[in-house]
Structure 1
Amino acid sequence: MAPTAAYDEIADWYEHDFLPTTGEGDPIGIRRQLTELLGPGRGLCLEVGCGTGVHAAQVGGLGWTPVGVDLSGGMLAYAKERLPIARADATRLPVLSASVPAAVAMMVHTDMPDYPAVLREVGRVLRPGGVFVHVGVHPAFCGGFADRSDPEAVIIRPGYLDGRWTKNSWTDKGVRNRVGASHFPLPVLLRAVLDAGLTLTDFAEGGAPSPTTFSFRAVKP
């Protein structure tokens, strides 16, 4: 059975209503972490799960040539104005093995039920010495088990170790209550990177007072 593109149903809302509410600046450190971990470079940078392509300008500003892959035709209808795209399942990337010098996954790993398989594909398409940057919601502080309704604290309830998909969310104004999320505890996430044949080289967190995002840099030996 072909995977379902959950974002098709909310693509217009995401582009016109959700993205404008993110405001100016970088409150949870997404752009900062991408800049620090990816850094300047040349050649193709494959964005896995590019969505509407909102990160393409930043990647291009670092000197890379951004290209994107996503499952959702609705999201890609907006992305095509921002970068070259292909519609594909991230567990079966339409990219030659050992062909790209860099890849990124920006706030998408919870949208991918088999993220370990996605990481294996990233390991396949990266050339030796290639860099992969993951910027995602923090496994320990975001999920169906985390109530972030109080801006001064995060309440953690049972569920962190379950590693399950859920639509539970502390807010009805975000993405998760619409498309759901797959949760990967921190050890599961990092072990999947190693199983993909990648070497972890750096880490970062963003957001306050408790981290909202967790990011890492990995290199293909």
Structure 2
Amino acid sequence: MAVYDEIADWYETDFLPRTTPGDPIGINAAIDTLLGPGAGPILEIGCGTGIHAAELSALGWTPLGVDLSARMLAYGKNRLPVARADATRLPLRDATLPAAIAIMVHTDMPAYPQVLTEAARVLRPGGTFVHVGVHPAFCGGFADRSDPEAVIIRPGYLDGHWTKDSWTTEGVRNRVGATHFPLPTLLRAFLTAGLRLVDFVEGGAPVPTTLSIRAVKS
């Protein structure tokens, strides 16, 4: 998306170095637990600058990436093979992949239910889809996370909306905005896409920041 073209340099050279040491919100732990070791290609939907390619490769997978932002892909192509594509129209044939993954991108995609349907289309029967995303119940314009010890939930969770409201001016969301999916809406989208829910992991403390889901194509 064009807005990520505008922040790509900041994201790569400023934001990532400040936020990626260790695994503070459990992204890598979720990938390890829900995806696990494997072989063959895995498609990262919304790969951005490709920072998760090393983790996927360490598990034995061969990562491939798609993203809509050309500027983000300019960095990503140094980390994995990439293609510029809309996640609702993946440039792949039906039932070609053993696995696909989307990492911290569903709030960037107002059409995420269609993205899940498209992911299911390109997966082989029994193929794995892993979703790693911000926690719908504890992250969003309705959630005040300025106190790390206690998240305050204000009205707005049930609305389902797009917003640039953020508790910090040092992050991504106040720059690009976010689409909010209440938890039932998100989970129902998996079922509608023909993805069977298998396992879940929460990450971050003391209040979860991420909710990750493993699903299998029916």
| TM range, smaller chain | over 0.9
Matched residues in 2 for 1:210 and 1:126: separation? 33
Corresponding residue SS for 1:162? coil
1:47 and 2:47 are equivalent in the alignment: no
TM-score when normalising by structure 1: 0.98
- Equivalences for 1:28-39 in 2 at 5 Å? 28-39=25-36
Please state how far the C-alpha of 1:23 moved relative to its aligned partner. Answer: 4.2
TM-score when normalising by structure 2: 0.99
- Equivalences for 1:28-177 in 2 at 5 Å? 28-177=25-174
Deviation string 1:194-218 (CA, Å, 9 cap, x unpaired) is 0000100000000111100000000
1:212 and 2:217 are equivalent in the alignment: no
1:7 and 2:21 are equivalent in the alignment: no
Match of 1:70, as an amino acid? D
Matched residues in 2 for 1:23 and 1:8: separation? 21
Matched residues in 1 for 2:10 and 2:57: separation? 26
Deviation string 1:23-78 (CA, Å, 9 cap, x unpaired) is 42111100000110001111100000000000001101101000000000010000
Corresponding residue SS for 1:161? coil
Matched residues in 2 for 1:103 and 1:206: separation? 20
Matched residues in 1 for 2:18 and 2:92: separation? 34
Corresponding residue SS for 2:37? coil
Q: Give the aligned partner of residue 188 of structure 1.
A: 185
- Superposed CA RMSD: 0.6
Q: Give the aligned partner of residue 22 of structure 1.
A: 19
Match of 2:204, as an amino acid? G
Matched residues in 1 for 2:20 and 2:206: separation? 19
Match of 1:103, as an amino acid? A
Match of 1:165, as an amino acid? W
| TM superposition outliers: structure 1 runs of 4+ over 2 Å | none
Please state how far the C-alpha of 1:5 moved relative to its aligned partner. Answer: 2.7
Matched residues in 2 for 1:76 and 1:23: separation? 19
Matched residues in 2 for 1:31 and 1:66: separation? 15
Matched residues in 2 for 1:70 and 1:125: separation? 16
Match of 1:79, as an amino acid? G
